[in-house]
């Protein structure tokens, strides 16, 4: 099993920046894909960014492209999401997700069923 713990959420003014982190523990060696999702009140959870842990290839939702950056520190088993030029529409609970499936890079990265482990989430509020 893989355990994921998010941290770093908080409140920030529009135009500001924030970093959220996702620390993985357990069977971390087979984390093949890591992603960040978010869910705003009254809305469905949506994929924000994904990184393939082996190649480092990244994908972003159009709404955050150019503003958010996903990165990883494999020595620390941690994935980060650096968010800049934040807008109120970025307000949401941010969730970290992991897939231990070696074929995850070929699966729809924004589909929740691609990932088999989830964190509890960290709140980001932009106002």
Q: Say what the pLDDT of residue 28 is.
A: 66
Q: Say what the pLDDT of residue 124 is.
A: 98
Contacts of 42 (CB under 8 A, 6+ apart): none
- What is the pLDDT tens value at each position of the chain, 127 positions in all? 889 999 999 999 999 999 999 999 887 667 789 999 999 999 999 999 999 988 999 999 999 999 999 999 988 999 999 999 999 999 999 999 999 988 898 999 999 999 999 999 999 999 9
Report in angstroms the alpha-carbon separations of 50 from 12, 32, 118.
23, 11, 14
Contacts of 57 (CB under 8 A, 6+ apart): 51, 105
Question: How many CB atoms neighbour CB 17 within 10 A?
Answer: 11
Q: Say what the pLDDT of residue 74 is.
A: 87
Report in angstroms the alpha-carbon separations of 90 from 4, 31, 37.
22, 27, 11
Q: Say what the pLDDT of residue 27 is.
A: 72
Count the helix, strand and coil residues of the chain and give each as a percent rounded to the nearest 5.
Answer: 10, 50, 40
DSSP state, 116? S
Pairwise CA distance, residues 117 & 124, whole Å: 21
Q: Say what the pLDDT of residue 29 is.
A: 66
Q: Say what the pLDDT of residue 9 is.
A: 94
* Tokens, residue 114: 């691609």
């Amino acid at each position: 099993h893989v355990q994921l713990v998010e941290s770093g959420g908080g409140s920030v003014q529009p135009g500001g920046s924030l970093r959220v982190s996702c620390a993985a523990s357990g069977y971390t060696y087979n984390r093949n894909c890591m992603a960040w999702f978010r869910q705003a009140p009254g809305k469905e959870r949506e994929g924000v960014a994904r990184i393939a842990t082996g190649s480092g290839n990244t994908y972003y939702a159009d709404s955050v492209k150019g503003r958010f950056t996903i990165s990883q520190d494999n020595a620390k088993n941690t994935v980060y999401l650096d968010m800049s030029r934040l807008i109120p529409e970025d307000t949401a609970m941010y969730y970290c997700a992991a897939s231990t499936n070696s074929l995850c890079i070929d699966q729809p990265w924004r589909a929740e069923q691609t990932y088999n482990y989830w964190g509890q989430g960290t709140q980001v509020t932009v106002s």
